[in-house]
Amino acid sequence: MTNPIDPGDLIGELRALLDGEPDLVANAANTAALIFSRVPRLNWAGFYFLRGAVLVVGPFQGLPACTRIPVGQGVCGSAAARGETIVVPDVHAFPGHIACDSASRSEIVVPFSIGGRLAGVLDIDSPEPDRFSPADRALFEAVAQTFGAAHRPAE
């Protein structure tokens, strides 16, 4: 499946959105809205922030979601524990997948860091099986990297 959006354009728009604004929640809200409005065939896009050993839901677009996910559980917690992207072509085949929206069929979770430390994950869900291509993975990894690099660690 070709990607109908230009990744360069999306990252350029993201940089413009984040430019000059230090607030993490404001920027996460705009980033989730940018992804959800520009990337087709999604049913959830948003953030979980790392709070100790638990991921707590942050700004997102989509149906209400699980508020807290322990690191190591579900796709989000597994990606956080490994510190690497997880692409799940079929959520029903992922042991421990946490179903927040029963419409979700595939998912990608990308960890992001702030100041060199894991700060949370970007979670994107689709109602379409096997929705996320290697190009999508590269795009969302660039989003997560750009988002993390735009912030300073909290005091």
Binding part of the chain for ligand SME, among 29-37, 61-69, 130-138, 142-150 by CB under 6 A, reads 61-69
Within 3-22, the residues that bind ligand SME by CB under 6 A are none
The answer to whether 90 touches 105, Cβ cutoff 8 Å, is yes
- For 69-109, the DSSP string reads EETTSHHHHHHHHHTS-EEES-GGGSTT---SSTT--EEEE
The residue within the footprint of ligand SME, chosen from 17, 24, 71, 74 (CB under 6 A), is 74
Rounded Cα–Cα distance for residues 153 and 5 (Å): 31
The residue within the footprint of ligand SME, chosen from 18, 28, 35, 75 (CB under 6 A), is 75
Closer residue to ligand SME (CB): 13 or 128: 128
Residue 66 lies near ligand SME (rule: CB under 6 A):
yes
Using left for φ > 0, alpha for ψ between -120 and 50, and beta otherwise, residue 127 falls in alpha
Cα separations (Å) of 136 from 1, 81, 106, 114, 142? 10, 22, 13, 22, 10
Closer residue to ligand SME (CB): 5 or 103: 103
Q: How far is the CB of 123 from ligand SME (least distance, A)?
A: 5
Residue 46 DSSP symbol: E
Using Cβ positions, the residue closest to ligand SME within the complex turns out to be 74
Rounded Cα–Cα distance for residues 151 and 153 (Å): 7
Q: Which two tokens stand for residue 107?
A: 């998912």
Closer residue to ligand SME (CB): 97 or 151: 97
The residue within the footprint of ligand SME, chosen from 105, 123, 126, 132 (CB under 6 A), is 123
Closer residue to ligand SME (CB): 99 or 149: 99
Contacts to ligand SME by CB under 6 A: 44, 65-66, 69, 74-77, 97-98, 100, 104, 107, 123, 125
